[in-house]
Structure 1
Amino acid sequence: MTQANQSSVSEFFLLGFSRQPQQQRLLFVFFLSMYLATFLGNLLIILAISIDSRLHTPMYFFLSNLSFVDVCFSSTTVPKMLANILSSQSISFIDCLTQMYFFIVFTDMDNFLLAVMAYDRFVAICHPLHYTTKMTHLLCALMVSGSWILALLNALLHTLLMARLSFCADNTIHHFFCDISALLRLSCSDTYLNEMMILIEGALIMIIPLVCILISYICITCAVLRVPSTQGKWKAFSTCGSHLAVVSLFYGTIIAVYFNPSSSHSAETDSAATVLYTVVTPMLNPFIYSLRNKDIKGALAKVISRKFFSVQQ
């Protein structure tokens, strides 16, 4: 592969969702509203957990990390998409690879943190007497830092594999960001190695945490069924159901988009499915994991009241 082939395409054009002006204005307002809700909702969660000392526990430590990752996750794609709606749809080759790299990093981090949070709930419900001895600060820090290391290395692998490909004539990406599957369809090189790494290594990165989540919730369900109180059972199942709904949405769309042969993909279907886990899921996480929690609600009320009184003074 020659350097000339690699540099033949210096930029790409992101088509997005629609080129009709009226629809573009509606899409801009729609995605801007969702992005602001995602940003403010997750930021409030982080502030509430950091300010309230009662929330300095493993569960809320993982939750604050998830909120931070969700903000970064949405910020990787949505601002560029909004800018493309208003102005030029072009993105340089280097910026495209950079966006793809961080997209993979934060996708993996969401994936790992969902598994870590499921394990935390498994220990809390199935082994409550040993929770404080098992979920130590050191273990929590190691799980989060290990997740970051794996995510960064996995993203680097796929980015380097993409950088070795040639892109010749067609530089139009039928997507709203530089998605790995969309870029593979544009390459005039042999993408067999890239696709195999997605199917094998990428599958392991996604499927192993998913299996851990399912096993954790099977054990949680068995433990909850032994609880004599009907109200206690319903509360636990309600919490598990919300978590599993987000897990199903997150993993279902990723598997549908990335773990099928690229020839079977539809650009419109990929874009719609990707919106679910890049925009919708990060926006819903604060509501599902936090705003239904009384401790979080109390901490948020303190944060808001403190800001209100400081403004008045």
Structure 2
Amino acid sequence: MEITPCNGSGDSSVTFYLTGIPSLPKSLFLPIFFIFLLLYLLILMGNALILVAVVAEPSLHKPMYFFLINLSALDILFTTTTIPKMLSLFLLGDHLLSFPACFLQMYLFHGLSCSEAFLLVVMAYDRYVAICRPLHYPVHMTPQTNAALAASAWLTALLLPIPAVVQTSQMAFDNTAYIYHSFCDHLAVVQASCSDTTPQALMGFCIAMVVSFLPLLLVLLSYAHILASVLRIRSREGRSKAFSTCSSHLLVVGTYYSSIAVAYVAYRADLPLDFHIMGNVTYAILTPVLNPLIYTLRNKDVKAAIAKIACPQGPKNIGIP
């Protein structure tokens, strides 16, 4: 039996073979392709619509909506790192990725995922200042401060995955390394190596815990203060109005961390490999699909701006239930 040699670390001659969903019959590849294509188009159109609406409507030039367009741009970039390759895999059977392409995809996927977690923290802080310190809101949330907060969320998250990605790229792989996944997820690439995978798996797990639980803790802390402030409001109408300004963000946070929980349970539980892969694919697609729906269906200002773009000759005052 011929033994495939294990290349030295960082060998760019390595080719990665994405298995996709191993037990999925080929007869289902085309239906899966159309499902993923539909979801990708919904992500692109929904988030692009929010971007255009916020930029074009002067009444939405507020800190909350500035962070929202950051989130929409992030979701477009995040899904573009993975879904086009998955579409190619299911339609054309294009399973191969070069060494640089795989590690670039891995870095962007995890970096942009971290960016979303930190942007949700910034958005929670914005709601905290708006509700708990309303008189100080114009002073605290200036355009310069908003830009600095958004830039910090992007840069911090994009720097965090670098050590794990660089060290994983130094691992040894076969000439053709089989990745049991639909894209180059860090843990799946580590498991494809013929080196000792324990240190890298541990590092990836520690970074994932930091970028998952630390932002979640900060969001929960913000909402604990918000809840305390809202409960001190005497009028029922005032409490309802305060809660309504947070509802969309809370739903997005819930969706984001629910998809992380699904991916985590799928990896750690004693489940078939296909469940592990689908858990991570759900994480990669679910939040970007739902974010535009949440913000357009639950936010009357965004709905009014979109209606204004769709029907520019229509009535200026649109009744939103």
Unpaired segments ≥5 residues, structure 2: 1-5, 315-321
What do the CA deviations read for 1:43-70 (whole angstroms, capped 9, x no partner)? 0100011111111111000000000000
Question: Is residue 303 of structure 1 aligned with residue 309 of structure 2?
Answer: yes
Q: CA deviation at 1:262?
A: 7.1
Q: Please list every run of 5 or more consecutive structure 1 residues that lacks an aligned counterpart in the other structure.
A: 309-313
Range with bigger deviation, 153-162 or 122-131: 153-162
> Please, which moves more after superposition, 265-274 or 115-124?
265-274
Tell me whether 1:15 sits opposite 2:19 in the alignment. Answer: yes
Paired AA for residue 200 in structure 2: N
TM-score between both structures, scaled by the size of structure 1: 0.88
Question: 1:153 matched to which residue of 2?
Answer: 159
Return the alpha-carbon distance in structure 2 between the equivalents of residues 232 and 260 of structure 1. 42
d(CA) in 1 for partners of 2:248, 2:275:
25
Counterpart CA distance in 1 for 2:269 and 2:234 is 53
What is aligned with 2:231? 225
Q: Tell whether the 8 Å contact from 1:14 to 1:173 is kept in structure 2 after alignment.
A: yes
CA 1:307–1:281 in structure 2 vs 1: closer, same or farther (change >3 Å)? farther
Measure how far apart 1:237 and its partner are.
Answer: 4.1
Is it true that 1:181 corresponds to 2:183 in the alignment? no
Number of residue-to-residue matches in the alignment:
307
Corresponding position of 2:254: 248
Q: Is 2:68 the counterpart of 1:63? A: yes
Q: Is the deviation greater in 20-29 or in 167-176?
A: 167-176
Percent identical residues:
40
CA distance in 2, matches of 1:119, 1:265: 38
Match runs of 1:210-289 below 5 Å: 210-234=216-240, 236-237=242-243, 240=246, 242-254=248-260, 257=263, 267-289=273-295
The correspondence for 2:214, drawn from 196, 208, 212, is: 208
Tell me the residue number matched to 1:31: 36
Which residue, out of 286, 295, 300, partners 1:294? 300
Q: Aligned-pair RMSD on alpha carbons? A: 2.7
Q: Which amino acid aligns with 1:16?
A: G
1:5 and 1:168 in contact (8 A); partners too: no
Say whether the 8 Å CA contact 1:5–1:167 is kept in structure 2.
Answer: yes
The corresponding residue for 1:194 is 200
Alignment-derived partner of residue 105 in structure 2: 99
Asked if 1:48 is matched to 2:53, the reply is: yes
Shift of 1:260: 9.9
Deviation for aligned residue 1:257: 4.2
Question: What is the rounded CA distance, in whole Å, between the counterparts of 2:132 and 2:118 in structure 1?
Answer: 21
1:136-183, Cα deviation, whole Å (9 max, x unpaired): 111111111112221221232222011111112772222111000111
Question: 1:287 Cα deviation (Å)?
Answer: 1.8
For 1:236-264, what per-residue CA distance to the aligned partner results, in whole angstroms no more than 9, with x for missing partners? Answer: 44664553343234234435646998796
Given the superposition, is the C-alpha separation of residues 259 and 147 from structure 1 closer, same or farther in structure 2, using an over 3 Å criterion? farther
Q: Partner residue of 1:165? A: 171
Kindly provide the CA deviation profile for residues 219-243 of structure 1, in whole angstroms up to 9, marking residues without a partner as x: 1112222233334434544664553
1:75 aligned onto 2:80: yes
Aligned-pair CA distance for 1:24 = 1.2
Larger helix proportion of the pair: 1
Residue identity opposite 1:168 in structure 2? D
Distance in structure 2 (CA, Å) of the matches to 1:3 and 1:275: 29
**1:247-302 deviations in Å (ceiling 9; x for gaps):** 23423443564699879675323222223321111111012134321211121122
**Residue number in structure 2 paired with 1:134:** 140
| Aligned-partner Cα distance in 1 for 2:109–2:65 | 24
Contact 1:8 1:167 in 2 (8 A): no
1:115 partnered with 2:117: no
CA 1:19–1:8 in 2, change beyond 3 Å: closer, same or farther? farther
Does the C-alpha gap of structure 1 residues 271 and 236 become closer, same or farther in structure 2, counting only changes over 3 Å?
Answer: farther
Which amino acid in the other structure matches residue 10 of structure 1?
V
TM-score normalised per structure 2: 0.86
The Cα offsets for residues 90-133 of structure 1, whole Å up to 9 and x where unpaired, read as 11121111110110121011111111101101110111111111
C-alpha change, 1:21 and 1:198, in structure 2 (3 Å) is: closer
